[in-house]
Amino acid sequence: MRNMMFWGLATLVVFFDQLIKYFVDTHMAVHQSIPVVHNVLYFTYVQNFGAAFGMLSGKRAWLIIFTFIAFIFILLFHKTMGDDPLLKWALPLLIGGAIGNLLDRLRLGYVIDYVDFIIWPTFNLADMCIVVGVGLMVLQMIRKSKEEEIKS
């Protein structure tokens, strides 16, 4: 059952990430921007040739290798995680987000980004899932640390 939830959530993340990116790629021009909430949130088509915030731009091979390594570590962690409720959500979000962006890099050579808050670099659903997954893992580590502190 744990594997079914893990792969089900990861698959949903990849599906919706790729669906939105397909819509952006087929219905918008690069750098086209559509206001959602004027002066706050825009739907902007950006081709990101790097990682977060455009770092490592042009290092596609390294980004692909890093993603595969991260994928292996997450799968290994998944096998040993037990029944921690935060990790049940964190790990499939991480895997789904990583796969979503990896598919773009392999297929297109760049990642399609589209969520634009003007004051922050443009990002996508896969990025959001990765950030939430990492955040849940940090919360789990803090909680576990406090539990161990109480025990000793």
Contact partners, residue 118, CB within 8 Å, separation at least 6 = 39, 40, 42
Please state the rounded mean pLDDT for residues 63-87.
83
Residues 98, 126 contacting (CB under 8 angstroms): yes
Least confident of 13-22, 39-48, 62-71, 124-133: 62-71
Cβ-proximal residues to 111 (8 Å cutoff; 6+ apart), any chain: 47, 48, 101, 104, 105, 124, 126
Which one-letter DSSP state was computed for residue 111? E
* pLDDT attached to residue 53: 66
SS (H, E, C) 32-81: CEEEEECCCEEEEEEEECCCHHHCCCCCHHHHHHHHHHHHHHHHHHHHHC
- Lowest mean pLDDT: which of 17-21, 36-40, 71-75? 71-75
Question: CA 120 to CA 113: how far, in whole Å?
Answer: 12
The span from the CA of 149 to the CA of 13, in Å, is: 35
**Percent of the residues in the chain that have a pLDDT greater than 70, as a whole number:** 94
The residue-averaged pLDDT of 47-54 equals: 79
Closest to 90 measured CA to CA, from 15, 145, 142: 142
pLDDT for residue 3 is more than 90:
no
For 109-147, write each residue's pLDDT tens digit. Answer: 999 999 999 899 999 999 999 999 999 999 998 988 887
Query: What is the predicted pLDDT for the residue at 145?
Result: 84
Tokens of 49: 């040739």
pLDDT of residue 67: 87
- Where in the chain are the domains? 2-151
Tell me the pLDDT band of 1, cut-offs 50, 70 and 90.
Answer: low
The pLDDT, as a whole number, for residue 61 is 81
Q: Which residues are catalytic?
A: 113, 127
Question: Which contiguous run of DSSP H or E holds residue 115?
Answer: strand 111-116
